[in-house]
Amino acid sequence: MKNYKIAVIPGDGIGIEVMNEGIKVLNTLSKLNKDIAFNFDWYDWGCEYYLKHGKMMDEDGLEKLKKYDAILLGAVGFPGVPDHISLRDLLLKIRQGFNQYINLRPIKLLTAQDCPLKNKKVEDIDMVFVRENTEGEYAGVGGFQREGTKDEVALQTSVFTRKTTEKVMEYAFQLAKSRKKLNKVTSVTKSNALNYSMVFWDRIFKEKSNVYTDIKTESFHVDATSMYMLQRPESFDVVVASNLFGDILTDLGATLQGGLGFAAGANINPEREYPSMFEPVHGSAPEIAGKGLANPIAMIWTAKMMLDFLGHEDLGERIMKSIVEALNNREKLTPDLGGSGTTNEVGDRICKIIENIG
Ligand code: ATP
Ligand code: MG
């Protein structure tokens, strides 16, 4: 009997709503499988916590989180709190503090009708982004000069270390090998304009490709990549990208698979020295929060990624099958998918299907 300790940080807005559905699915699975159990500890950290206590999470937050097998996070962000604070003091703090240097974001179409592109089959859109997650453009290095004067200057410095860049590329190549799709890694770059960081990135990508000679490689500028993702999404397998480029392109990718309501994500510390954190790509979407309109599929898929990471791919597979069945059936889906169902109803329906599958 495996008993997992999971830290749950629902966060803000729709993060809270979708988290309930993710937990519901995990509880359903553990009810059906006597050999797996979850102990969930809930943390009310986020923007509301910030407005009450002046901080996004407790000072010893990382110390508290250290003891868990994994962390589930909904979304953070709230109109009254500047985005750079909510991101920096919670999400980035955990990603960086726990050296979760891989951000894994699958982009996979589950039902053809949810794709905004014409005539796409589900197998046409099936790629995984490996996004660098602890440094790069989001390293937080920079400052203001001559602040408050008309000569004011803002500096934001990217930081790419050889150690992390190598490990990110290594992860991408290994993933391409294990996926057995096109056996290909695409590197996203912009070395014509970013003449230090991306030149360095390209150099390390080349070094790794010389090691993995059985894996095909290609390298595109980020602007061209966004075009190719629309023109010929079927040509992508594993895509490796920096923190900023990966962030932007995965929202585009989310659209290809039917919207942010489908976009699951994982912040991974591959060495398992610290817990990894599982978090959908979407934010707290304040304008639809509290109305039961949020699509919980991204969060449920995210829970599946956590199960995979914990070594329960069979259970993860069951979640995916149930999501697909719920989508094909079209009954009571959320408004982003053209339905009139609520967050809660979608979660209930997926749990029902899981129970029926057995
Ligand atoms: P962040 O910077 O935190 O990623 P964002 O500004 O990118 O936030 P999101 O909160 O991710 O914005 O959402 C953008 C829009 O997409 C939302 O306003 C909402 O309309 C839609 N959206 C996002 N997630 C969902 C979801 N799970 N279900 C339905 N619609 C969603
Ligand atoms: Mg976003």
Q: Is 158 in the pocket of ligand 1 (CB under 6 A)?
A: no
CA–centroid distance, residue 251 to ligand 2 (Å): 7
Tens of pLDDT, residues 6-18: 999 999 999 999 9
Q: Is 261 in the pocket of ligand 1 (CB under 6 A)?
A: yes
CA–centroid distance, residue 189 to ligand 2 (Å): 20
CA–centroid distance, residue 345 to ligand 1 (Å): 20
List of residues 6+ apart from 358 with CB closer than 8 A: 32
CA–centroid distance, residue 344 to ligand 2 (Å): 23
User: Which CATH number does 1-108+257-358 carry?
Assistant: 3.40.718.10
CA–centroid distance, residue 296 to ligand 2 (Å): 16
Q: Is 54 left (phi over 0), alpha (psi -120 to 50) or beta?
A: left
Q: Is 294 in the pocket of ligand 1 (CB under 6 A)?
A: yes
pLDDT for residue 345 is more than 80: yes
By alpha-carbon position, which residue is closest to atom 6 of ligand 1? Answer: 283
- Give CATH superfamily name and number for 116-251: Isopropylmalate Dehydrogenase (3.40.718.10)
By alpha-carbon position, which residue is closest to atom 18 of ligand 1? Answer: 285
By alpha-carbon position, which residue is closest to atom 8 of ligand 1? Answer: 283
pLDDT of 84 reads 83
How far are the Cα atoms of 70, 125, 165, 256, 280 from residue 76, in angstroms, in the given order?
Answer: 18, 28, 27, 24, 11
pLDDT category at 358 given cuts 50, 70, 90 is low
Q: What average pLDDT score do residues 60-74 get?
A: 97
Which of these, 186, 204, 171, 160, lies nearest to 276 by C-alpha position? 171
Q: Is 260 in the pocket of ligand 1 (CB under 6 A)?
A: yes
Q: Is 298 in the pocket of ligand 1 (CB under 6 A)?
A: yes
Q: Is 282 in the pocket of ligand 1 (CB under 6 A)?
A: yes
List of residues 6+ apart from 218 with CB closer than 8 A: 184, 185, 186, 187
Distance (Å, whole) CA 182 – CA 198? 25
Q: What average pLDDT score do residues 80-108 get?
A: 93
pLDDT for residue 357 is more than 90: no
Q: What average pLDDT score do residues 30-56 get?
A: 95
List of residues 6+ apart from 147 with CB closer than 8 A: none
Query: Six-digit token pair at 236?
Result: 């992508």
pLDDT of 83 reads 84
pLDDT of 62 reads 97
The residue extents of the domains of the chain are: 1-108+257-358, 116-251
CA–centroid distance, residue 284 to ligand 1 (Å): 6
Q: Which ligand is nearest to the CA of 298?
A: 1
pLDDT of 180 reads 85
Calculate ∠ Cα 17-126-358, nearest 5°.
Answer: 55
Distance (Å, whole) CA 294 – CA 260? 10
Percent of the chain with pLDDT over 70: 100
Q: What average pLDDT score do residues 291-304 get?
A: 98
Which of these, 189, 318, 323, lies nearest to 263 by C-alpha position? 323
3-state secondary structure the chain: CEEEEEEEEEECCHHHHHHHHHHHHHHHHHHHCCCEEEEEEECCCCHHHHHHHCCCCCCCHHHHHCCCCEEEEEECCECCECHHHHHHHHHHHHHHHCCCCEEEEEEECCCHHHCCCCCCCHHHCEEEEEEECCCEEEEEEEEEECCCCCCCEEEEEEECCHHHHHHHHHHHHHHHHHHCCCCEEEEEECCCCCCCHHHHHHHHHHHHHHHCCCCEEEEEEHHHHHHHHHHCHHHCCEEEECHHHHHHHHHHHHHHCCCHHHCCCEEECCCCCCCEEECCCCCCCHHHCCCCCCCCHHHHHHHHHHHHHCCCHHHHHHHHHHHHHHHHHCCCCCHHHCCCCCHHHHHHHHHHHHHHHC
CA–centroid distance, residue 76 to ligand 1 (Å): 11
Q: Note whether 1-108+257-358 and 116-251 share their fold.
A: yes
By alpha-carbon position, which residue is closest to atom 7 of ligand 1? Answer: 283
pLDDT for residue 308 is more than 70: yes
Tens of pLDDT, residues 246-296: 999 999 999 999 999 999 999 999 999 999 999 999 999 999 999 999 999
Q: Is 84 in the pocket of ligand 1 (CB under 6 A)?
A: no
| Mean pLDDT over each residue of the chain, to the nearest integer | 96
Sign of CA dihedral 205, 135, 76, 252: negative
